[in-house]
Structure 1
Amino acid sequence: MSTSEDRMAMEESADKPAATPRYARKKQAIVAAASEILNRDGVKGMTLASVAASVGLITTSVTYYFRKKEDLAVACFLEGIERFDGLITEALREPTAQARLLKLLDLWLALNHRVATGDAHQVPFFNDIRSLEKPQRSVVIEAYMRFFAKVRMLFGDNEFPWLDEHQRTARAYLIMEQIFWTVAWLPRYDLEDYDRIRDRMFDLFVNGLAAPGRQWNPVPLPLDEVLAPVEPQATPRETFLIAATRLINERGYRGASVEKISARLNVTKGSFYHHNEAKDDLVVECFDRSFEVSRRIQRAVTDRPENHWWKLSTIAATLMEYQLSDVGPLLRTSALSAVPLAIRVEMVRKSNRVSDRFASIISDGIASGCIRPVDPFIAAQMLTITLNASAEMKWWAPHATQSATDLYAKPMLMGAFAP
């Protein structure tokens, strides 16, 4: 946009700007551009200058719409929540829980189709909400929780009387986590495959992975044996990585600043940089530690004589134990959305190795008849994010009496609508 057009927009904004169509269109264009930049760079990496350049404005013009970049980030998140709210509102018109879920998947994949073809702008990744500071973070979280209350309504009021409040919350949370995570693996597919993806995801949500007759009674492996450290006692470095992982999970990659990590560990910034060249190096080490934990637990059952259903459910139960243990949790894969691109690509590649091993177990189980015929790749991605997301149990179901395995792993492996 030219300087004269900038001036016209400024003059319009001074006279009841919200009522002018021109102002509304330009504001929407800014939010759309900023949402894409948020997904690429995170809240901390987004600048008003980069947003302005992407829509042909000068930076000072953007401040007439949003005074600070945090205000713009809030607008992006609120607009994204509103779009999701529209999807769930439409899905809730369906008569049954299964029909509501199928409709939600259909609407979400249709939106992704429009984004891929350039007919709609990206929805921001909500995981970076946690990098906002108060009061902006509180505003967005309140809006998200109002939306999430509708997600819980997917299960209806009386369709599943055996579901208590915690089970309903956990299953609604897992459905949304699965939907959010699709952005990581959908690019591997052609657009014409989206209907097939919808059907296969729906089948997995409804029927799980267990073949008919398989029971749910997993027993986790002893963590001290599976993850036996080289040294008998936890090293200071291990303690450092545990604390950093927890903080990044709580505040996101960008929100977990060097200052906050240092404060959590009760060390100075100087001490932090004495042990770490940069925060990115620490994040990579946290990811590598998490991937190694997953691989060790997977390897622990590889040569066991039990069937592959036992292996899959045992891995799930053991990883759940780890998530809530003194040495857990895994670093959330959601942190990947805000890390620098070069790191992100490498970490996604390593994450896919973990998922691919799940796919191999699922494929072998299908061949032997103990696991239902499903799409192994999609099932593995859905299982991976289910196990990874269970670290949030203390936030979503802090007073639950059920184990994390029953709250989170069971609905994925046995079906989201199964008792």
Structure 2
Amino acid sequence: MDTAPTHIAPASAPPSDRFQKKRARILEAAATEINAHGLKGLTFVGVAEAVGLNTTSVTYYFKRKEMLAAETLEQAIIRYGAIARAAAEAPTPEARLRRFFALFFDLFTRIRLKQAQPLTKLSDLRALDEPMRSKLTEDYTAIIMDLSKILTPDARGAERALAVARAHVLMDCIHWVGAWLPQYSAPDFARVEARMFDLMAYGFAPEGARWAPKPYAIDDSAAEEGEISRETYLRAATQLINERGYRGSSVERIAAKLNVSKGSFYHHLSGKDDLVLECFDRSYSRVSRAQRIALGSGGSAWDQITSSTASLLDVQFDAEFPLLRITALQALPADLRNTVVRRSNRMAQRFAGMMIDGMAEGSIRHIDPLIASQCLISSLNAAVDFLPWANARESREEAIRMYGSVLAYGILNAPPEGK
């Protein structure tokens, strides 16, 4: 049995209000730095300048930059979790989803008006070193699992798997809001909230729409096994950026993934940024190809959207050469990031045009096509993180049907039946 110590050190005094306020200002400045420059772009110098301190003073609060980065991301995850728990207090799934959006858009409004601390982007969390990377990933995954139970209580079996997919798509759509919400003024946020709720709750499928996509191949190039070429670098870099983010994917890591030297890398490529843009160009071209094939295939807009969606989800769940996560590129240098966002918007606009055609002909429910297309792009990108989930389904077709149904039919509607 343990014995009591003969001497107990006096408890340290709780941090003063002044200490806590300065610490909060440092975390706010770090969030702004991460949102602007990515995790690896966070510096003590930049944070110190933002809060009017010297770097030595910042280290009094956070001994290492990695500790500051981890806590900044942890604070964001805590805020996400708080909103999910608050939404759970509503009496029904519909009321919970409404409250979920109301709380997030209230936060987005207060951030825009500089009445609340910026919400740190989690897209670069992959660039964290272990063990914090795994810990925070687990914390965020726990929010997804809790949200799935909040929105679809008492689900079992396949219904539980669908509930997890719904929560995953919903959260990724919320993350991606930061990329397109700046196009709107704060007074318009209430309308955006209402339209986004309507889409996520009830989907873009009209009543009675049948899920019967006709997927097609969208890739026409392949890397020969054992051959090191631009194509193999492209594939390795895409996989690594999806896993570790832009800042976490160094030339050394890309070369190591292929078991080659840095010299081999520079023999094929001029630099990392050129490779990253080429990776995105390839992804952009593949999405565009899927859209063009769909537009040229005839049929209704519903057929075109679901077939192109199924084709792209097939690529994501194959995992051999997935699309590059657009959200992983939010840490790009500003000039490169703007290029990526512009091209991403073009992909979204093409989907929006297909939705407008569908509303005109009656094959798409009346929704906001601009918001719906951005959410569709987000869900397609997020699918790459759901590979283990997809592999656990009875078939690839079943995984595509379940995942694709989230936006098509909505969170509150019954999913489409399998063939």
- Structure 1 pair 174–125 and aligned structure 2 pair: CA distance change class (3 A): same
Q: How big is the shift at 1:148?
A: 2.8
Q: How big is the shift at 1:415?
A: 1.4
Give 2:114's aligned residue: 118
- Structure 1 pair 142–322 and aligned structure 2 pair: CA distance change class (3 A): closer
Quick one: distance in 2 between partners of 1:325 and 1:391?
A: 9
Quick one: distance in 1 between partners of 2:391 and 2:14?
A: 41
Give 1:310's aligned residue: 303
Measured against aligned partners, the alpha-carbon deviations of 1:18-59 in whole angstroms (never above 9, x if no partner) come to 521111111111001100101111111111111111100100
Code of the aligned partner of 2:206:
A
Quick one: distance in 2 between partners of 1:200 and 1:193?
A: 11
Specify the SS of the correspondent of 1:411. Answer: helix
Quick one: distance in 2 between partners of 1:142 and 1:30?
A: 25
Quick one: distance in 1 between partners of 2:168 and 2:40?
A: 26
Q: How big is the shift at 1:404?
A: 3.2
Code of the aligned partner of 2:36:
R
Give 2:348's aligned residue: 355
Q: How does 1:125-204 map to 2 (within 5 A)?
A: 125-158=121-154, 160=155, 164-204=159-199
Q: How big is the shift at 1:135?
A: 1.8
Code of the aligned partner of 1:280:
D
Compute the RMSD of aligned alpha carbons: 2.0
- Structure 1 pair 397–24 and aligned structure 2 pair: CA distance change class (3 A): farther
Quick one: distance in 2 between partners of 1:326 and 1:43?
A: 26
Measured against aligned partners, the alpha-carbon deviations of 1:179-238 in whole angstroms (never above 9, x if no partner) come to 1110011111111111111111111112111112211121311x1xx4334999998322
Code of the aligned partner of 1:346:
T
Quick one: distance in 1 between partners of 2:222 and 2:257?
A: 26
- Structure 1 pair 328–17 and aligned structure 2 pair: CA distance change class (3 A): farther
Quick one: distance in 1 between partners of 2:318 and 2:152?
A: 34
203-212 vs 24-33, greater mean Cα deviation = 203-212
162-171 vs 68-77, greater mean Cα deviation = 162-171
- Structure 1 pair 149–326 and aligned structure 2 pair: CA distance change class (3 A): closer
- 8 Å CA contact 1:166, 1:397 repeated in 2: no
- Determine if the alignment matches structure 1 residue 271 to structure 2 residue 264: yes
Quick one: distance in 1 between partners of 2:284 and 2:391?
A: 26
Code of the aligned partner of 2:304:
K
Give 1:35's aligned residue: 31
- 8 Å CA contact 1:43, 1:70 repeated in 2: no
Give 1:205's aligned residue: 200
Give 1:387's aligned residue: 380
- Determine if the alignment matches structure 1 residue 78 to structure 2 residue 60: no
- Determine if the alignment matches structure 1 residue 294 to structure 2 residue 290: no
**Normalized against structure 2, the TM-score is what?**
0.91
- 8 Å CA contact 2:230, 2:269 repeated in 1: no
- 8 Å CA contact 1:18, 1:24 repeated in 2: no
**What is the number of equivalent residue pairs in this alignment?**
401
Give 1:12's aligned residue: none
Code of the aligned partner of 1:219:
K
- 8 Å CA contact 1:66, 1:72 repeated in 2: yes
Quick one: distance in 2 between partners of 1:106 and 1:331?
A: 31
Q: How big is the shift at 1:408?
A: 1.7
- 8 Å CA contact 2:151, 2:163 repeated in 1: yes
Give 2:321's aligned residue: 328
Quick one: distance in 2 between partners of 1:144 and 1:57?
A: 32
Quick one: distance in 2 between partners of 1:414 and 1:156?
A: 15
Quick one: distance in 2 between partners of 1:243 and 1:277?
A: 16
Task: Structure 2: give runs of 5+ residues left out of the alignment.
Answer: 1-10
Quick one: distance in 2 between partners of 1:47 and 1:230?
A: 40
- Structure 1 pair 63–230 and aligned structure 2 pair: CA distance change class (3 A): closer
Quick one: distance in 1 between partners of 2:123 and 2:399?
A: 21
Quick one: distance in 1 between partners of 2:87 and 2:271?
A: 45
Quick one: distance in 1 between partners of 2:80 and 2:173?
A: 14
Specify the SS of the correspondent of 1:126. Answer: coil
Q: How big is the shift at 1:170?
A: 1.1
Q: 1:46 aligns with which of 42, 53, 60?
A: 42
- Determine if the alignment matches structure 1 residue 90 to structure 2 residue 82: no
Q: How big is the shift at 1:156?
A: 4.2
Quick one: distance in 1 between partners of 2:305 and 2:311?
A: 10
206-215 vs 339-348, greater mean Cα deviation = 206-215
Q: 2:243 aligns with which of 238, 241, 250?
A: 250
Quick one: distance in 2 between partners of 1:139 and 1:72?
A: 15
**Normalized against structure 1, the TM-score is what?**
0.91
Task: Structure 1: give runs of 5+ residues left out of the alignment.
Answer: 1-14
- Structure 1 pair 395–39 and aligned structure 2 pair: CA distance change class (3 A): farther
- 8 Å CA contact 2:233, 2:254 repeated in 1: no
Specify the SS of the correspondent of 2:165. Answer: helix
- Structure 1 pair 396–33 and aligned structure 2 pair: CA distance change class (3 A): farther
Measured against aligned partners, the alpha-carbon deviations of 1:326-366 in whole angstroms (never above 9, x if no partner) come to 65200001112101000000110011111100001000010
- Determine if the alignment matches structure 1 residue 228 to structure 2 residue 220: yes
- 8 Å CA contact 1:17, 1:23 repeated in 2: no
Specify the SS of the correspondent of 1:93. Answer: coil
Larger helix percent? 1
Code of the aligned partner of 2:202:
N
Measured against aligned partners, the alpha-carbon deviations of 1:349-385 in whole angstroms (never above 9, x if no partner) come to 0111111000010000100011011111011111111
272-281 vs 66-75, greater mean Cα deviation = 272-281
- 8 Å CA contact 1:323, 1:329 repeated in 2: yes
Q: How big is the shift at 1:303?
A: 2.2
- 8 Å CA contact 2:319, 2:387 repeated in 1: no
Give 1:5's aligned residue: none
Quick one: distance in 2 between partners of 1:360 and 1:247?
A: 33
- 8 Å CA contact 1:40, 1:338 repeated in 2: yes
Code of the aligned partner of 2:409:
M
The alignment-based identity, stated in percent, is 40
